[in-house]
């Protein structure tokens, strides 16, 4: 019991609260954009599309995989992904709540919001709604959503944070 009490003291840092607020903002933005595409634009069938620019359209894709359709799974695999996404989201929420590094808090807030946003889709629908389509660029063929973007940006910031921390540590060791 003492270990549990020590783990949750202090309950939140200022940056931890901001990271959780960012996660909530990403989650809300993700779910609102998906609802807007699904109900507002009535894009529900795979391939339904609204062309916006020559390089950009809103295209309905039902993603049953993880990022960009990798690791496609149905049935029990779907629920394994749901449990993984929510479990990872909760574990990161626990970790970020006392965070004191701004870059780490920012990156984890983005990842948490994205993971939970896509997890909600997968649990509710059996797939993740993807609709942002830049395939007209002929460079990026995948269709994605706000949650995917937040996760990718969060992971890139996390990698940058660790590379920078490693370089700083090497400089200190060399001095």
Q: Is 123 within 8 Å of 82 (Cβ atoms)?
A: yes
Q: 173 catalytic, yes or no?
A: no
Active-site residue, selected from the candidate residues 30, 121, 133, 148:
148
- Percent of the chain, pLDDT > 70? 90
- For 11-30, the pLDDT digits (tens) are 889 999 999 999 999 999 99
Contacts of 72 (CB under 8 A, 6+ apart): 64, 65
Q: Identify the pLDDT of residue 171.
A: 78
Judge whether 166 counts as a catalytic residue: no
**Per the residue annotation, which of 30, 121, 130, 133 is the catalytic one?**
130
């Amino acid at each position: 019991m003492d270990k549990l009490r020590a783990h949750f003291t202090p309950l939140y840092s200022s940056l931890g609260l901001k990271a959780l607020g960012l996660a909530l903002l990403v989650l809300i933005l993700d779910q609102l954009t998906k609802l807007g595409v699904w109900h507002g634009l009535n894009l529900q069938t795979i391939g339904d599309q609204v062309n916006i620019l020559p390089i950009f359209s809103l295209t309905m894709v039902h993603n049953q995989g993880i990022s960009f359709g990798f690791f496609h799974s149905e049935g029990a695999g779907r629920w394994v992904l749901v449990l993984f996404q929510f479990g990872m989201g909760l574990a990161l929420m626990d970790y970020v709540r006392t965070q004191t590094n701004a870059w780490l808090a920012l990156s984890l807030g983005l990842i948490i919001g994205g993971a939970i946003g896509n997890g909600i889709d997968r649990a509710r629908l059996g797939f993740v709604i993807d609709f942002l389509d830049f395939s007209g660029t002929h460079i990026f063929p995948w269709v994605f959503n706000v949650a995917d973007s937040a996760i990718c940006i969060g992971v890139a910031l996390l990698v940058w944070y660790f590379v920078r921390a490693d370089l700083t540590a090497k400089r200190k060791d060399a001095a």
